[in-house]
Amino acid sequence: MSDPSESAPISSTLPPATPLRPRRRAIVVGASSGTGAALARRLADEGCLVALLGRRKELLQVLCQEINQKHAETRAVCYGHDVCDYDVVPDLLARIISDLGGLDIFIYMAGVNYPPGLEHLNFENDRRMMEVNALGAMAWFTPVAELFKSMGGGHMIGISSVAGDRGRVGNPGYNTTKAALSTYLEALRNRLTRHGVHVLTVKPGFIKTDMLKAAQGGTPFAIEPERAADDIYKALLKHRQSIYTPGLWRWIMLIIRHIPSVIFRRMSF
Ligand SMILES: NC(=O)c1ccc[n+]([C@@H]2O[C@H](COP(=O)([O-])OP(=O)(O)OC[C@H]3O[C@@H](n4cnc5c(N)ncnc54)[C@H](OP(=O)(O)O)[C@@H]3O)[C@@H](O)[C@H]2O)c1
């Protein structure tokens, strides 16, 4: 269960933004490990104040300490949160915005992957993936979208996957959650661009994180999480709408998306 009262950010310890030293404020949901942790470090290195969310509070606290010691000032604060606690999101968001003194960048990184293998399907695992990867994202993007629309600006970033581009034999549930997230993000972009809000969809190939250990088969072109974080940060600066990381996957998926179904269904890929 999320318990915002257990988290310990104190807004007065955060360095103030000034006209000469503007500070962008970011939330990373799913920052305790892997790509989220790498992106949190990168945002802090670039001068952002970052709020880090996830269930593993000990990992978040260690990451906060590491970031704040590196910069000799408070640039990171953390909050224990399970994204399946949908009802607490509006109040938690309000509290974080109050702690940070505003919000400029929102990143939904949280995700789980439970491949069922080729012999069986597993509804419990599929439901869990849907709850974290898709519904948790919608629970957060909804109030953030309303906020940014009223502000007339802001960056919203969702971490989808190449897995959402095509239904494959190995992991139908995960494919579905990422396809849902990609479509949801596209729809948000189409609603919000006219209000000055930037929405970025990120589709990683393989990233060397704990999640990759669950992957079945080969993991070609796997990259370090720092490389993915670099691609995401650059896409944020350039206001890109959708990226693959590494970029090579844009061309790989272009081909895969165009393989006729009659051939694709015979492949074990
Ligand atoms: N690794 C890859 O090859 C790959 C490829 C394509 C896309 N992606 C996507 O990239 C994103 C980051 O994954 P990663 O590779 O960096 O793996 P990771 O190290 O396992 O990170 C997953 C993150 O999601 C958080 N999370 C999971 N369930 C949560 C919950 N119920 N509530 C709150 N946070 C939750 C985890 O935090 P806690 O456990 O502390 O809650 C963790 O911070 C995911 O969306 C994943 O689907 C990864």
Question: 76-106 as b/e, with b when 16 or more CB fall inside 10 Å?
Answer: bbbbbbbbeeeebbeebbebbbebbeebbbb
Ligand 1 in contact with 58 (CB < 6 A)? Answer: no
CA of 112 to the centre of ligand 1 (A): 6
Specify the pLDDT at position 10. 42
CA of 19 to the centre of ligand 1 (A): 35
**Structural contact between residues 209 and 215, judged by C-beta atoms closer than 8 angstroms:** no
Specify the pLDDT at position 29. 98
β-partners of residue 219 are none
pTM of the model: 0.95
For the cut 50, the answer to whether the pLDDT of residue 1 exceeds it is no
Cis peptide bond N-terminal to 19, omega within 30 = no
Specify the pLDDT at position 136. 98
Across the range 70-95, mean pLDDT stands at 97
> What residue owns the CA closest to ligand 1's atom 41?
55
Ligand 1 in contact with 209 (CB < 6 A)? Answer: yes
> Taking all residues of the chain, what is their mean pLDDT, rounded to a whole number?
93
Across the range 64-88, mean pLDDT stands at 96
Sequence-distant (6+) residues with CB within 8 A of 263 are: none
pLDDT digits (tens, 9 = 90+) for 96-116: 999 999 999 999 999 999 999
Specify the pLDDT at position 4. 46
pLDDT digits (tens, 9 = 90+) for 7-40: 444 445 666 666 666 789 999 999 999 999 999 9
